[in-house]
Amino acid sequence: MRKIAVFYSGSSHHSRTYKTSEFGQYIDVCIPARHFAEASLDDMDVLIIPSQSHLGLLEQNVDKIYAFANSGKTVVTFGPQHRDWLPEQNWEFRPTNFWWWLETGADSGLRLPGETHDLFTNYLTLDDATWHQHGVYWPTDGCETLVSTVDGGSVLYIDKVNTSGTWINTTLDPDYHYGSYFMPATERFLRGFLPWLKEGVL
């Protein structure tokens, strides 16, 4: 089982998602962002950077996060992030449609090119990853897109080529919505994603 750390900014939604809810069982340590620089990550296998993390403290620790990845470990980023710091990719902002499901012939615009990946064969469905998006990534060749938009933009992708570790980047923000007590799909997402992160095949 992998050991998972969280870059913890201390907001109410981070507290609920990573400390006080059912999902706390998957987290080995929440490292306060203000103490992250001096914290040891030696025993950790995975580092989660939540959505809406403290940008100032995050920017101060980018080199440490990259060093963690380059030691062969895994970094997970939930979106929206401060996009310039992620490994080679091009972020494209798109206006968020919060009410797409009320439209006639509603289509989320999401597709599942990663349907044969372990995450989606054993832990999640596309419905579990469907609420809304804040934009898309255009990752470099060699990255694996699991969830995309109809035009091929990445909503969730795995990057094993741009550092010596693994990056799992998504524009989805399940921790914010679950921690804020709304958006039921985000609860289902976390019920699949966090066990996969703990025990699945990356």
User: What's the CA gap between 98 and 54, in Å, rounded?
Assistant: 24
Q: Tell whether the torsion through CA atoms of 150, 156, 160 and 162 is positive or negative.
A: positive
CA atoms of 71 and 118, how far apart (whole Å): 24
Cβ-in-10-Å burial (0-12, 13-18, 19+) of 202 comes to middle
pLDDT at 113 (0 to 100)? 97
Q: What is the mean pLDDT of residues 46-65?
A: 96
How confident is residue 119, by pLDDT bands cut at 50, 70 and 90? very high
Write down the pTM of the prediction: 0.95
Q: Using CA of residue 79, residue 157, residue 77, residue 129, what is the dihedral sign?
A: positive
Task: Assign 134 a pLDDT band (cuts: 50, 70, 90).
Answer: confident
The residue type found at 69 is: A
Q: Using 50, 70 and 90 to split pLDDT, how confident is the model at 106?
A: low
Contact residues for 102 (Cβ-Cβ < 8 A; gap 6+): none
Residue 199 has pLDDT above 70, yes or no: yes
Domains located in the chain, CATH noted: 4-199 (3.40.50.880)
pLDDT > 70: percent of the chain: 95
Give 99's pLDDT tier (boundaries 50, 70, 90). low
- The per-residue pLDDT for range 139-181, each reduced to its tens digit, is 999 999 999 999 999 999 999 999 999 999 999 999 998 999 9
| The pLDDT of residue 169 | 97
Integer Cα distance of 119 and 60 in angstroms:
32
Neighbours of 128 (CB within 10 A): 19
The whole-angstrom separation of Cα 189 and Cα 11 is: 20
Sign of CA dihedral 163, 37, 81, 48: positive
Confidence class of residue 94 from pLDDT cuts 50, 70 and 90? Answer: confident
Q: Can you tell me which residue has the tokens 């091929």?
A: 152
